[in-house]
Homo-oligomer: A and B are copies of this chain.
Amino acid sequence: MTSRRNIEPPVEIEGVADAEGTEPDRLDKLLQRGHVVIPANPRHRGVVPKAIGAEMGVKVNANLGTSRDLMDVSMELEKVRVAIAYGSDTIMDLSTGGDISQIRKDVLSACKLPVGTVPIYEAVCRSSGKGGPLAMTEDDLFGVIEDHAKDGVDFMTVHCGVTTKTVQSLKRAGRTTGIVSRGGAMLTAWMEEAGKENPLYENYDHLLDLAREHGFALSLGDGLRPGSIADATDAPQVHELMVLGELVMRAREAGVQVMVEGPGHVPLDQIEANVRLEKAVCDGAPFYVLGPLVCDVAAGYDHIAGAIGGALAAYHGADFLCYVTPSEHLSLPTAEDVRRGVVASRIAAHAADVARGRGGDWDLMMSRARKAFDWEKMLSLCMDPERAREFRERVAPADSRTCTMCGEFCAMKMVDKLLRD
C-alpha cells in the first residue's frame, strides 16, 4: 500500500455507526480503506450523515432540479420534501434552469440529507450566457466547484474519466446511443471544441485539494455510460472505469473520500459482472449505480425497470442506488414521480438488504401483523403508509379482519384456528 493521508471523518462517527448497527472502529476502518464514504460537508448545517459502502445498508438517492423548460423552484422544493418523506437517503440537485445558485442554497437549507451536485452543469450554464456553453474556461469550472463547496454541498459528481483517450475509444465503438450522460456530453463537446484534455482529469490534484480542504466527497461520474442495452458493458465504458480506478487510488492517497458511478442500461445477465468489475478495478470503492435499467422499452415505468436492476446490483454488492422515476426518458419528474421513484428504489435497496442478511426484522414484523390481522400495524409498517391506506380503504370489506381481495375466503383466516390448535 502506498503511503497516504488519513481520511478525516467528516462528522462524529458514533451516530453513523449506530444507525448502521456497526461499531465506530469498524466504520472508521472501512472509511480509511475507502470502502465506505460518509459525505458530509462541514458547511452543510445540520446535515444527517449517511454511510455508503461495504457492510452498510444499501442507500438511495433522488435526483431533482430544474431544467430550462421547467424552472419552478417551489416545485423542486416540494420534490425535496417528498424525497425526504418517502425515505431517500440523499438528494442530488441537478438544476440547469433559472437561478441555479439560489436553488442550490434553498435545497441545502431545506434538506438535512446529504446533498450532491454536478458542477459542470452550472459551469456550462454560466458560460452559455456569455459566448455559448463551450466558452467555459477551466477556471470557470473550478470556480463553480469552489462555490458549491462553500455552499455546503456534500458530494459532487465529477466526470474525470472522460479523457482524450476514452473519447477515442468511444468514437471507435460505433455505439447505438453515443453519450447519454449530460456531464459527459458537455465535457466531450468542450474538449473537442477547445482541443484540450478534460480539466477535471488534467487538474485532478487540484480537485483533490479542494475536496480535502472543503470536506466534500467525490463521486466519479461515468460520463461514457451506455444508454442502451446494445451498448452495455462496451469498450468505452470499461476504458472509463479503468481510468476511474486509478483516480480512486489517487483520491485515497490524498485522503479524499471517493465513490464511483456506474451504468445505466445493463441487461440482467451483465449486472453481477458490472459490480464485480467495479469492485475489482476500483479496489472496493463504493459503487453508485444509476438504475440500472434492464431494458430500453419501459419508458413510463422506468422506475420498475430500474428497481429490477438496482435490486440485483445491490444484491451483488452495489452500495448506492440512484432512483429512476416513471418520467425518465420522457419529461422532468413531478413530485408524484419522485415519490414513486424513491419508493421503487427503496424496495430494491431493501430487497438486497434482506438477501444480504440485513433488515429482515421489518419484514418479520409485517408478516406477524398480517397473521394477527392487525391492519393499523400493517399499514404503519408499509414503505408508503398513505398509499397503502388508500388501497385498503377504497371499499370496506364485510369482515374488517380481511380485505376485499379474498373476503371470507381469506386463507390465513380459514386455517388460523387449525394451525393454532
Contacts and interface: CB of A to CB of B under 8 A. Distances in A.
A382 interface: yes
A37 B267 CA distance: 27
A323 B164 CA distance: 47
A168 interface: no
Q: How many copies does the complex hold?
A: 2
A170 interface: yes
A384 interface: yes
Contacts of A360: 229-230, 267
Interface residues of A, number: 106
Contacts of A298: 347, 350, 382-383
A206 interface: no
Contacts of A315: 268-269
A69 B185 contact: no
A182 interface: yes
A344 interface: yes
Nearest to A70: B404
**Secondary structure type dominating chain A contacts:** helix
Interface stretch (A77-85, A207-215, A242-250, A395-403): A395-403
Interface in A375-399: 378, 381-384, 387-388, 390-392, 394-395, 397-398
Contact of A363 (B70, B297, B331, B409): B297
A410 to B, nearest CB: 8
A177 B411 CA distance: 10
A96 B381 contact: no
Contact of A383 (B297, B331, B409): B297
B297 A366 contact: yes
B348 A384 contact: no
Given A295-B347, A299-B388, A347-B301, A409 B96 contact: yes
A240 B298 CA distance: 36
Contacts of A312: 268, 308, 311-312
B395 A363 contact: no
5 contacts: A67-B404, A177-B367, A178-B371, A229-B367, A296-B362
